[in-house]
Amino acid sequence: MPLMIEGKPIGGVPKTVQEFLDKYDFKDSSNKLKSGPLKKVAPIGLLYVGQREFAATSPEDEKILVMGSEDATTCHIVIIRHTGCGAVCIAHFDGYGSDKAVKDIMRVMNDLCKNKPFGRYELHIAGGFKDDDESSEKVSIKTLSNDNIHRISTNGPHELKILLTDWQGVTKYVVRQGFYMDDEQKQYRIYSSHYSGNAGESIHFNTPFSTFDVNNSTCADRLNCAVSYHGAWWYTCCYSSNLNGKYYHGNHSSYADGVAWLPFHRSNYSLKKTTMMIRK
């Protein structure tokens, strides 16, 4: 799952919340969220989620109009939305039983979106802070990890669709059948069967995921492709695509470190927009 901050990919999930805060300032967005006006809603059409609970709904549900939860301290309010079918889930995580909760959530969301249009899962998190025993921090990192995509993709057969748009407005696509992802122990390897599309094949399947601090590249000199090309991806030595590379405006002078898909554009051209979507 590409992790985005303000619409730009940042590569792998940080190991600590402090590492996150050292690179990104969320004060403005958090102050804006806290200073927003309160909105009173009627009990009719309201679904309230308590701690260690979750609920999901879809546009076809005429009974549920608003979902909400109580205040979160070290807990996290997690909202997942599927852009294709419009299904939304809200959950109140406190770190207990979160592995099972994610599996249950994605099973419900996949059922709501079955045979619906392609889309991507958007994850929004509110709450949590730095506490002495780091309990809130652990919930944050776990929620953002690739393990969640592993749980999504192994819940039955899936399709992966990738959309690629350049700065001239040309969009190409890739569809892969039989897509799934391994867990952390198997280094988030991804697999697929049949290819279709017009963007060309450009992902190294059955290849471990590499980040700045976990080098799974296959270069004989132990070159870390994630460091050299400023991304996090399924590298060999090194890539045919690099969708978590630096975000440049089209052509760039630096070598191969942009948002690249080589069958579409050369290595010193960075794409304008990329989207990776899965559906059951």
CA distances, 54 to each of 90, 105, 167, 279 (Å): 6, 7, 40, 21
DSSP result, 230-258: T--B--SSS-SEETTSB--SEE-SSSS-B
Q: What domains are there in the chain, each with its CATH number?
A: 4-153 (3.30.1330), 158-279 (3.90.215.10)
* Angle, vertex CA 91, rays to CA 88 and CA 92, nearest 5: 155
H or E segment at 147?
A: helix 147-153
**Tokens read off for 221:** 């000199």
Query: Radius of gyration (Cα) for the chain, nearest Å?
Result: 20
DSSP result, 99-142: HHHHHHHHHHHHHHTTTSPP--EEEEEE-----TT-HHHHHHHH
Whether 57 contacts 92, CB under 8 Å: no
Confidence of residue 11 (pLDDT cuts 50, 70, 90): low
**pLDDT tops 70 at residue 45:** yes
Rounded average pLDDT over 50-69? 89
User: For residues 122 and 83, what is the distance between their CA atoms, to the nearest angstrom?
Assistant: 7
**pLDDT tops 90 at residue 77:** no
Q: What is the pLDDT of residue 139?
A: 73
Rounded average pLDDT over 232-250? 92
Task: Indicate the pTM of the whole model.
Answer: 0.56
The one-letter amino acid code at 17 reads V
Which residue did the predictor score with more confidence, 32 or 133?
32
Residue 32, helix vs strand vs coil: helix
pLDDT, tens digit, 9 for 90 and up, residues 93-129: 877 777 788 888 888 988 888 888 777 778 787 776 6
